[in-house]
Homo-oligomer: A and B are copies of this chain.
Amino acid sequence: MPAFSRFTPLVGALPSTVPFVGPEAIERNRGLEVKARIGANENGFGPAPSVIEAMRTAATDTWKYADPENFELKSALAAHLGCQPGNLAIGEGVDALLGMIVRMVIDPGMPVVTSLGAYPTFNFHVVGYGGRLVTTPYVDDREDLNGLLDLVRRENAPLVYFANPDNPMGSWHKAEDVVAFAKALPETCLMVLDEAYCETAPEGATPAIAELIDLPNIVRTRTFSKAYGLAGSRVGYVISTPGTAQAFDKVRNHFGMNRIGVAAAIAALKDQAYLSEVIGKIKVSRERIAAVAAANGLKALPSATNFVAIDCGRDGAYAKAIVDGLMQHGVFIRMPGVAPLNRCIRVSTGPEADMALFEQALPQVLASL
């Protein structure tokens, strides 16, 4: 299978592994049908009917490129968040924005600080640009702010990643601790504050926009993929100072946003009543998952997200057997990648039909192990 012979040394040496295997690939490779799609922290409650209608209306306009300046979406977001459009940059999901951030900050060999077991797609980008991952373990299933800060200082790192709430554990820190961490960072270190799950977090976990908006080294990333139910639309954004937000214009794909996705995001922002309703359903579903876990002698961790990590009480091999076993029943879930987090399985919230399948399958799987 010949390939071009002169890729850069960096790219030539990159592994061909991918961050995640999708449920469609699992279906194809294992010949199984996914009946409960509760593994990728998608939102099975779906987007608002008003959003679906907006997408259908926008379909006739797909012969046009989207506005490369994303003016309307930025204006709507700024009004919603209480900041200026200039504080924002838009991208094709947070994953794309993470890639841009790494590209803008990391030259080969530079250290990047994150937690051991945190978001693999961020690591994929760090490795892809030749960065050197430096990690600190989770403490009590939470990312360790002190450990991260120590590493940043020790390494004089230009980039640190921190998700609040956290994926894959669903844990969170208080807003005041996040703000204190951000302010304690050297200004030569860019902090990615990944807030993909902020909409489902409890009161007091997410810093107010105003608290960090003047710090040029803090970039908050958010998405329409989770609480808004638009994972397939690929719309994410960053919040920072105007100077830092504008830097994305140097590297982003100016015509990269899909037109229906942008229309969906704008419509979603307008329907906050639906969002509240979904957040309520997510909370109920979290409790449902915890109850199923408890009924099977397993312990659900507290969650601020649209998924629940369940401690299965043994090692990664045991948790993986549960993940694989559930898939045999058509229940697609995932699990953290490294110890000791990988004693857990990770189950996304979703409609009752999905929960019922999970409830039905779990005891059978546990009994078979």
Interface size on A, residues (CB 8 A): 93
| Whole-angstrom CA separation of A15 from B250 in the bound complex | 7
Across the interface, which residues of B come within 8 angstroms of A190, CB to CB? 4, 6
Instruction: Say whether B65 contacts A4, CB under 8 Å.
Output: no
Interface of A is mostly: loop
Instruction: Say whether A231 contacts B65, CB under 8 Å.
Output: yes
Across the interface, which residues of B come within 8 angstroms of A258, CB to CB? 92, 232-234, 258, 260-261
Instruction: Say whether B11 contacts A66, CB under 8 Å.
Output: no
Asked if A141 is at the interface of the complex by the 8 Å CB criterion, the answer is no
Instruction: Say whether A232 contacts B158, CB under 8 Å.
Output: no
Interface string of A80-94 (1 = CB under 8 A from B): 000000100000110
Q: How many copies does the complex hold?
A: 2
Tell whether A251 pairs with B14 under 8 Å between CB atoms, given A62-B264, A63-B232, A216-B2.
yes
Instruction: Say whether B47 contacts A232, CB under 8 Å.
Output: no
Instruction: Say whether A232 contacts B8, CB under 8 Å.
Output: no
Asked if A99 is at the interface of the complex by the 8 Å CB criterion, the answer is yes
Asked if A206 is at the interface of the complex by the 8 Å CB criterion, the answer is no
Asked if A105 is at the interface of the complex by the 8 Å CB criterion, the answer is yes
Tell whether A20 pairs with B71 under 8 Å between CB atoms, given A187-B5, A217-B4.
no
Find the B residue at minimum CB distance from A235: B258
Chain A residues 228-280 with CB under 8 Å of chain B are 229-234, 240-244, 246-247, 249-251, 253-261, 264
Across the interface, which residues of B come within 8 angstroms of A14, CB to CB? 250-251
Across the interface, which residues of B come within 8 angstroms of A44, CB to CB? 63
Chain A residues 197-239 with CB under 8 Å of chain B are 216-217, 219, 225, 229-234
Q: How far is the CB of A65 from chain B (nearest CB, A)?
A: 5
Across the interface, which residues of B come within 8 angstroms of A92, CB to CB? 92, 234, 253, 256, 258
Instruction: Say whether A22 contacts B68, CB under 8 Å.
Output: yes
Tell whether A104 pairs with B68 under 8 Å between CB atoms, given A62-B55, A246-B16, A258-B233.
no
Instruction: Say whether A217 contacts B63, CB under 8 Å.
Output: no
Asked if A154 is at the interface of the complex by the 8 Å CB criterion, the answer is no
Find the B residue at minimum CB distance from A225: B65
Instruction: Say whether A28 contacts B71, CB under 8 Å.
Output: yes
| Max chain B C-beta neighbours (<10 A), residue from A25, A121, A229, A261 | A261
Q: Which of A35-43, A132-140, A166-174, A320-328 contacts B (4 or more CB under 8 A)?
A: A35-43
Indicate which residue in B5, B15, B65, B68 contacts A18 across the interface (CB closer than 8 Å).
Answer: B68
Q: 16 pairs across A/B with beta carbons < 8 Å?
A: A1-B243, A2-B243, A3-B246, A4-B217, A4-B219, A6-B158, A8-B105, A14-B251, A16-B250, A21-B68, A22-B65, A22-B69, A46-B62, A66-B232, A92-B256, A95-B253
Q: Interface residues, chain A, CB within 8 Å of chain B?
A: 1-11, 14-16, 18-22, 24-25, 28, 37, 40, 42-47, 52, 55-56, 59-69, 71, 86, 92-93, 95-96, 99, 103-107, 121, 128, 158, 187-190, 216-217, 219, 225, 229-234, 240-244, 246-247, 249-251, 253-261, 264
